[in-house]
């Protein structure tokens, strides 16, 4: 069996075809974050602080996390659609295996997340010329965003499990995603301990500290404490924050799969 004949890969390819052939998806996932970025760019302006960085330099990591978080809705819609259309049941009558269905979905969603982040990077760092420490830090920021994206997919699977229709999954995931983004203080500062319980907060703070605030990866990763909104120091290193993001990703994904299995296997 070749790599391309692997069932999970075939499911991922099918998912990608399915998504990339919907203009609504392309607009919502790839273009809307750019439109939001432009809006925030004009809102925050290009005024610089004494360190020479603009307010938007500080805000852009939050925009990336917001864009990646849309994966929640994409996953919710996809799984609710498979459930609703009967395709999930049809695949269950074939030697496909749920394992391959979930793995395929994670592969396709991760690919799309990466595409989304790359587009945002090109737009922010190349087109708008925003500040970043260095390419290595940016690559690390990329990985953190992908990790966060996986937790967003996990959350989407959870929402799909309890949604009877695609429309409900769409509305429900939008609601949860927007509340989560607000509570995490990713787009606008939010002064509350609640932020620590949201995955976007950790992902955004690590991204911000590595690519905008820090002096370089070696100095930052193990020794520096994370700096929260309003410049409060959190007694957790960036590495510790990274472990929290990983824990959220694994936890949300496993929980999503477990709930989905429980709700769709009779």
Partner 1 sequence: MSLSKDSIAIDIKDLKKYFKEVKAVDGVSLKIKKGELFSILGPNGAGKTTLVRMLTTVLTPTAGDANVNGNSILTGKNEIVKKIGVCPQDITIYEVLRAEENVEFMAVMHGMSREEAKEKSRKLLEEFGIAGRKDWSKHFSGGMQRRLNLAMALIFEPEILFLDEPTAGLDPQARRLVWDFIRDLKNKDITIILMTHDMVEADVLSDRVAIIDHGKIIAEGTPTELKEKYGSDNALEISFLKQVDLELVNSNIQNIPFVANSSEITHKERKTLIISFQGGLKNLVKLLQQGIIDNIDEVENMKFRQNSLEDVFLNLTGRRLRD
Is position 1 an interface residue for partner 1 (rule: CB under 8 A)?
A: yes
CB nearer to partner 1: give 10 or 224.
10
Q: Is 18 in the site for partner 1 (CB under 8 A)?
A: yes
| Interaction of residue 7 with partner 1, rule CB under 8 A | yes
| DSSP 3-state percent helix, strand, coil across the chain (nearest 5) | 75, 5, 20
Contact call for residue 17 and partner 1 (CB under 8 A): yes
Is 2 an interacting residue with respect to partner 1 (CB under 8 A)? Answer: yes
From the list 6-14, 60-68, 150-158, 206-214, the region that binds partner 1 by CB under 8 A is 6-14
State yes or no: residue 232 binds partner 1 (CB under 8 A): no
Q: How far apart are CA 255 and CA 224, in angstroms?
A: 31
Contacts to partner 1 from residues 21-40, by CB under 8 A: 21-22
Angle at alpha carbon of residue 251, lines to 142 and 118, rounded to 5°? 15
The DSSP-derived string for 123-167 is: IIIIIS----S-HHHHHHHHHHHHHHHHHHHHHHHHHHHH-SSHH
Binding partner 1 by CB under 8 A: which of 52, 93, 126, 235?
93
Is 89 or 261 the residue whose CB approaches partner 1 more closely?
89
Residue of the chain from 85, 218, 223, 261 that contacts partner 1 (CB under 8 A): 85
Distance from C-alpha of 170 to C-alpha of 202, rounded to nearest angstrom: 25
52 contributes a contact to partner 1 by CB under 8 A: no
The count of C-alpha atoms lying within 13 angstroms of the C-alpha of 208, restricted to the half-sphere facing its C-beta, is: 27
Binding range to partner 1, per CB under 8 A, among 1-9, 51-59, 203-211, 255-263: 1-9
Tokens of 180: 């989560």
Rounded-to-integer distance, Cα 170 and Cα 259, Å: 18
Least distance from C-beta 64 to partner 1, angstroms? 28
Q: How far is the CB of 96 from partner 1 (least distance, A)?
A: 5
Residue 98 main-chain phi, psi, to 5 deg: -60, -35
Q: Which of 205, 66, 61 is nearest to 131 (CA)?
A: 61
In contact, 70 and 147? CB cutoff 8 Å: no
Looking at the Cβ atoms of 49 and 167, the one nearer to partner 1 is 167
Q: Which residues bind partner 1 (CB under 8 A)?
A: 1-2, 4-5, 7, 10, 14, 17-18, 21-22, 85-87, 89-96, 266
């Amino acid at each position: 069996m070749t790599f391309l004949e692997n069932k999970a890969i075939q499911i991922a390819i099918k998912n990608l075809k399915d998504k990339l052939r919907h203009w609504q998806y392309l607009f919502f996932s790839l273009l809307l974050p750019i439109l939001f970025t432009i809006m925030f760019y004009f809102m925050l302006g290009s005024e610089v602080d004494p360190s020479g960085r603009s307010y938007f330099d500080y805000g852009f990591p939050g925009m990336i996390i917001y864009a990646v978080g849309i994966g929640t809705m994409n996953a919710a819609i996809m799984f609710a659609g498979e459930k609703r259309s009967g395709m999930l049941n049809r695949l269950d009558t074939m030697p496909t295996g749920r394992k391959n269905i979930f793995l395929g979905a994670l592969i396709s969603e991760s690919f799309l997340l990466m595409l989304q982040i790359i587009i945002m990077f090109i737009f922010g760092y190349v087109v708008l010329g925003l500040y970043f420490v260095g390419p290595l830090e940016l690559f690390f920021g990329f990985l953190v965003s992908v990790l966060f994206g996986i937790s967003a997919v996990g959350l989407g699977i959870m929402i799909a499990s309890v949604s009877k229709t695609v429309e409900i999954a769409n509305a429900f995931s939008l609601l949860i995603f927007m509340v989560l983004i607000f509570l995490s203080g990713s787009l606008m500062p939010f002064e509350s301990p609640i932020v620590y319980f949201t995955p976007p907060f950790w992902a955004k703070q690590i991204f911000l500290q590595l690519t905008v605030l820090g002096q370089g990866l070696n100095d930052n990763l193990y020794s520096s404490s994370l700096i929260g909104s309003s410049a409060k120091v959190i007694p957790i290193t960036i590495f510790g924050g990274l472990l929290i993001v990983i824990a959220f990703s694994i936890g949300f994904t496993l929980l999503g799969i477990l709930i989905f299995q429980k709700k769709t296997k009779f």
